[in-house]
Amino acid sequence: MLIAVANTKGGQGKTTLACSLADFLKAELFDANPENGDADAWAGLTGRQCRLIYPDDLALLEAAAKGKGWAVVDCPPWDGRETRAALALSKVVIVPVAAGYQDLRGLARMSGLIREAREQANPKLRAAIIGMGRRTTSFAETWADALQGYHRPKDGLHYLGSLPQRQAVVDAFGAGLPAHQAAQPAGREVTEILTRLVSWIETK
């Protein structure tokens, strides 16, 4: 089963979430951004295997989509062949969204890509939106309301909650640890989000 972690805007926490989810599920990890290779670099720190996905060779993604085990692909921050193929092949896509006006514009773009994928290639595709930001900023209420506005189950869009940004998560990722193993309370908060995600993914 293939799970895509995608957002066409950079800096949303895609790689952190993808790597942590792959570790949480004991899933195969794919990095579809070989130029930067952040997921691959993280996997190297942990001793885990990560396969690189190139736009001219998407056979690995196709095989993962047909497999019985879990597989997580960290998509690049653009809407090229890799991202579109991942949306066409995945059972679900997870869209992390940081707390900013430009980040909401990125979510709008992702919403359009998900709708396009459902209409053209993958009608059963579901999307989980995860907020990745602080709840203490002056923008937080507007941002949270906007994310709630994208909760449209009939369109395959589901808002599953937000994860406050914590330095402990950044430090854990830099040390090669999955985010759910970060120092408390950050590790506990990430574990709660991942548990919610997995429960949602397994819901038919």
Q: Residue with structure tokens 């290779």?
A: 37
Look at residue 69 and tell me if it is in a domain: yes
Look at residue 135 and tell me whether its pLDDT is greater than 80: no
Measuring CA to CA, which residue among 5, 1, 14, 18 is closest to residue 128? 5
Look at residue 176 and tell me if it is in a domain: yes
**pLDDT on residue 136:** 57
Look at residue 134 and tell me whether its pLDDT is greater than 80: no
Inter-helix orientation angle 81-89/101-120, to 10°: 60
What's the whole-model pTM score? Answer: 0.94
Look at residue 33 and tell me if it is in a domain: yes
Using pLDDT thresholds of 50, 70 and 90, give the confidence band for residue 35: confident
Looking at the chain, the whole-number percentage of residues with pLDDT higher than 70 is 96
* CATH label of the domain that carries residue 130: 3.40.50.300
Question: Rounded to the nearest 10 degrees, how much is the dihedral formed by the CA atoms of 140, 142, 143, 146?
Answer: 160
55-70: average pLDDT: 93
Name beta bridge partners: 129.
95, 159
**pLDDT on residue 74:** 97
**pLDDT on residue 201:** 93
Number of domains in the chain: 1
Mean pLDDT of the chain: 91
Look at residue 157 and tell me if it is in a domain: yes
| DSSP symbol at 57 | B
27-42: average pLDDT: 92
Look at residue 24 and tell me if it is in a domain: yes
Neighbours of 62 (CB within 10 A): 13
181-185: average pLDDT: 90
110-130: average pLDDT: 96
31-48: average pLDDT: 90
Look at residue 130 and tell me whether its pLDDT is greater than 70: yes
Can you tell me the distance from the alpha carbon of 104 to that of 16, in angstroms, rounded to the nearest whole number? 19
Measuring CA to CA, which residue among 151, 126, 120 is closest to residue 203? 126
163-175: average pLDDT: 83
Can you tell me the distance from the alpha carbon of 27 to that of 23, in angstroms, rounded to the nearest whole number? 6
Cβ–Cβ under 8 Å, residues 74 and 3: no
**pLDDT on residue 102:** 85
170-180 pLDDT tens trace: 888 888 898 89
**Cis status of the peptide bond prior to 153, with omega within 30 of 0:** no
Look at residue 94 and tell me if it is in a domain: yes
Look at residue 201 and tell me if it is in a domain: no
**pLDDT on residue 204:** 66
Can you tell me the distance from the alpha carbon of 87 to that of 80, in angstroms, rounded to the nearest whole number? 11
Look at residue 203 and tell me if it is in a domain: no
Buried b (16+ CB within 10 A) or exposed e, 83-103: bbbbbbbbebbbbbbbbbeeb
First-last CA distance in the chain: 13
Return the ∠ at Cα 6 (arms to 29 and 144), rounded to 5°.
125
**pLDDT on residue 124:** 95
Q: Which domain holds residue 152?
A: 2-196
Can you tell me the distance from the alpha carbon of 115 to that of 125, in angstroms, rounded to the nearest whole number? 9
* Amino acid of residue 67: G
